[in-house]
């Protein structure tokens, strides 16, 4: 029986491509990737809807190295889509033998994304994957030259599609036809495409060549302030953020809270100076209910240790906030 490996991002296009091939009587196994910037959550939900198994490949370390220095540069933010897709295809190609599979499916659509899915980019990705003769793009296949799989009769080209451009109309009609629901927005699962996250990651890499996973996770939360070469302040926006970010803190991180007013939890990471600690206290005062008071008492201490230190400060001014805000 013919078997294919479908690269499943968790978005709609990739699952439609997998379903299209499955409906030709071909066995399909989903392959999704886990990194520091995206995970398998959506892919797990989507593959269940079309009844295909899913294997998760963790390539976090190699992918992070790629993000720092992509051969073909970045998209709008810090997303190296061309290099990322080529790397995923290379990993998937190396799994063909393991799963006794004949070819690879992707959900790419010609000209859907102006930089990473134009004809030149698709050809680059195909060539640099190392498995160019094994790649099929079912959603736009009729806009491309026939693949080896089509020419040899493994796949019926007449049952493939000719989707072109940025409109999602055809995909949404297919989703309705096949009862595929609750699918995420395009690129919705990759943090590298989010402007705020991208800005913070670029800044972090200027100061820390090899951040750990906790450093990268904390970029998702709150407001970030660079106060010195070795120290950064994070101000949580909500109680839920404060709860979540604690999963990534260490006992070297310092927590600040206003003593008698409700407000944000403030964290300082790295190796803060006395001046950095004072400014963290001023940020704490700025984001608490008592920000207009002449002096506010702030308590602080190392994470998971008693908050038994106190300092009185005036809230940081708007100018000071803007100066250090990332």
Q: Which helix (H) or strand (E) holds 62?
A: helix 60-68
The β-bridge relationship of strands 254-258 and 266-270 is: antiparallel
Class of domain 3-185: alpha beta
The β-bridge relationship of strands 54-58 and 266-270 is: unpaired
Q: What is the 3-state secondary structure (H, E, C) of 196-250?
A: HHHHHHHHHHHHCCCCCHHHHHHCCCCEEEEEECCEEEEECCCHHHHHHHHHHCC
What pTM does this model have? 0.89
Would you give per-residue pLDDT tens digits along the chain (326 residues)? 899 999 999 899 999 999 999 999 999 999 999 999 999 999 999 999 999 999 999 999 999 999 999 999 998 899 999 999 999 999 999 999 999 999 999 999 988 876 778 888 898 999 999 999 999 999 999 999 999 999 999 999 999 999 998 888 999 999 999 999 888 876 568 999 999 999 999 999 999 888 999 999 999 999 999 999 999 999 999 999 999 999 999 999 999 999 999 999 999 999 999 999 999 999 999 999 999 999 999 999 999 999 999 999 999 999 999 999 99
> Tokens representing 104?
């690879």
Residues in the chain: 326
> What residue spans define the domains of the chain?
3-185, 194-324
- Among 96, 55, 63, 60, which Cα is nearest to 80's? 63
Give dist(CA 326, CA 97) in Å, integer. Answer: 46
């Amino acid at each position: 029986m013919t078997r294919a490996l479908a690269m499943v991002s968790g978005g709609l296009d990739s699952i439609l491509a997998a379903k299209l091939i499955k409906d030709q009587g071909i066995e399909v196994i989903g392959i999704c990737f886990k990194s520091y910037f995206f995970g398998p959550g959506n892919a797990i939900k989507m593959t269940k809807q079309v009844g295909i198994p899913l294997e998760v490949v963790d390539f976090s370390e190699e992918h992070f190295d790629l993000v720092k220095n992509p051969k073909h540069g970045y998209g709008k933010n810090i997303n190296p889509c061309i290099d990322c897709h080529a790397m995923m295809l290379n990993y998937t190609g190396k799994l063909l033998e393991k799963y006794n599979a004949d070819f690879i499916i992707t959900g790419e659509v010609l000209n859907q994304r102006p930089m990473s899915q134009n004809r030149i980019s698709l050809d680059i990705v195909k060539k640099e994957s190392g498995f160019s003769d094994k790649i099929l793009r079912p959603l736009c296949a009729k806009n491309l030259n026939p693949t080896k799989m089509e020419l040899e009769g493994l796949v019926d080209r007449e049952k493939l599609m000719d989707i072109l451009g940025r409109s999602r109309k055809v995909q949404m009609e297919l989703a309705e036809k096949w009862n595929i629901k609750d699918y995420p927005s395009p690129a919705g699962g990759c943090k590298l495409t989010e402007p705020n996250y991208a800005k913070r990651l670029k800044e972090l890499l200027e100061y820390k060549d090899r951040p750990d996973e906790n450093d990268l996770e904390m970029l998702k939360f709150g407001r970030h302030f660079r106060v010195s070469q070795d120290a950064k302040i994070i101000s949580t926006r909500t109680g839920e953020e404060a709860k979540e970010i604690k999963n990534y803190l260490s006992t070297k991180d310092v927590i600040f809270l206003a003593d008698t007013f409700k407000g944000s939890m403030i964290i300082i990471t790295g190796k803060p100076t006395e001046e950095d600690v004072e400014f963290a206290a001023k940020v704490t005062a700025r984001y608490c209910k008592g920000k207009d008071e002449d002096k506010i008492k702030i308590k602080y201490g190392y994470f998971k240790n008693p908050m038994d230190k106190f300092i009185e400060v005036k809230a940081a001014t708007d100018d000071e906030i803007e100066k250090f805000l990332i």
